[in-house]
Amino acid sequence: MELIHPIFKWLHVIAGVLWIGLLYFFNWINGHFVATLDSDTKKKVVPELMPRTLYFFRWGAAWTWITGLVLLLVVYYHGGLTFNDPDSGFDTSALVMIAVTFLGVFLYDALYKSGLASNVRVITIISFVLVGIVVYLMKEWADFSYRSFNIHLGTLFGTNMAFNVWFRIWPAQQKIITAIKNGEAPDGSLVALAGLRSKHNTYMSVPLIWTMINEHHAAGVLSGGKFGVTESTNWLVLMLVVALGWHIVYQLYKKSGKVEGF
């Protein structure tokens, strides 16, 4: 186990850098670049560029998720860091919240297929409230430790993101690229779906990265007892970071639209 931990953490970071780097490239660079191309140039460039980048994009996502799962099993479930009390067992509440971590993606997918998704402000508020409920229940009901409910939220976001890559973005992009290669207009609904889920992944990625670094280095500072944070309110710090992370992404989207070529 002592050998698995550093090796898989190393692989996890490599895969994550590959995945998230391409995610940011797609959302803040490539979309604006492709919009400047005429149809003939797009027909030549897109079928050559996108399959190559999407190959590393989807496999980066897959290996980030797989190595992250191994780390969760080794460090938390086997390493005894899941609960505030190291001697606690996996009772019903813990098993339910672990199930939510990995199966919540289906609620997310259904929510953003519903009519509520047409109102961005409403669906964003609902999403934020649901995330807050999940974090609160992990802490207060399942008795997850500070580090544990951080990393489980990261796992929830990461699972949503990997699902989007493999089951929403990649299938849509295959049809979009084929249409462009054939000189046809891509299905607008597929373009919208791929773009929206890619945007969701970008918004989830920033707080996800926080959960990865915070659970190691900031736990002693923000878990309670410093800067006015108490044991009963430390989960609110994580929610504040989620909101801040989403705002950072929003500002970067605005900035990306203003960056121009020569």
Alpha carbons 204 and 197: distance in angstroms, whole number: 10
Is residue 79 domain-resident? yes
Is residue 73 domain-resident? yes
85 vs 53: which has the higher pLDDT: 53
Half-sphere exposure of 221 (CA within 13 A, CB side): 9
In tens, the pLDDT along 139-165 reads 999 999 999 999 999 999 999 999 999
- In which residue are the tokens 């992250």 written? 68
Query: 32 lies in which domain range?
Result: 4-256
Please report the pLDDT score of residue 201 as a whole number: 98
Please report the pLDDT score of residue 220 as a whole number: 61
- Residues contacting residue 73 through CB under 8 Å, at least 6 positions apart: none
Q: Label residue 231 by pLDDT band (50, 70, 90).
A: confident
Show the 3-state SS of 228-261: CCCCCCHHHHHHHHHHHHHHHHHHHHHHHCCCCC
pLDDT at 1 over 80: no
Where residue 80 falls (left for φ over 0; alpha for ψ -120 to 50; beta otherwise) is left
For residues 256 and 262, the answer to whether their CB atoms sit within 8 Å is: no
In the chain, % of residues over pLDDT 70: 95
Please report the pLDDT score of residue 2 as a whole number: 81
Alpha carbons 75 and 225: distance in angstroms, whole number: 25
Please report the pLDDT score of residue 218 as a whole number: 55
pLDDT at 96 over 80: yes
Please report the pLDDT score of residue 221 as a whole number: 66
Show the 3-state SS of 166-231: HHHHHHHHHHHHHHHHCCCCCCHHHHHHHHHHHHHHHHHHHHHHHHHHHHHHCHHHHCCCCCCCCC
Structural domain count, the chain? 1
261 to each of 39, 142, 243, how far by Cα in Å?
A: 19, 51, 31
In tens, the pLDDT along 63-80 reads 999 999 999 999 999 999
Please report the pLDDT score of residue 43 as a whole number: 96
Q: Label residue 202 by pLDDT band (50, 70, 90).
A: very high
Is residue 261 domain-resident? no
> Of 135, 136, 113, whose CA–CA distance to 123 is shortest?
113
Please report the pLDDT score of residue 214 as a whole number: 78
Q: Label residue 215 by pLDDT band (50, 70, 90).
A: low
Average model confidence (pLDDT) across the chain: 94
Half-sphere exposure of 160 (CA within 13 A, CB side): 29
Q: Label residue 219 by pLDDT band (50, 70, 90).
A: low
Is residue 177 domain-resident? yes
Please report the pLDDT score of residue 225 as a whole number: 63
pLDDT at 21 over 70: yes
Is residue 262 domain-resident? no
Is residue 128 domain-resident? yes
In tens, the pLDDT along 133-145 reads 999 999 999 999 9
Please report the pLDDT score of residue 232 as a whole number: 86
Is residue 15 domain-resident? yes
Is residue 222 domain-resident? yes
pLDDT at 230 over 90: no
**Element holding 136 (H helix, E strand):** helix 120-140
DSSP string, 64-114: HHHHHHHHIIIIIITTT-SBSSTT----HHHHHHHHHHHHHHHHHHHHTTS
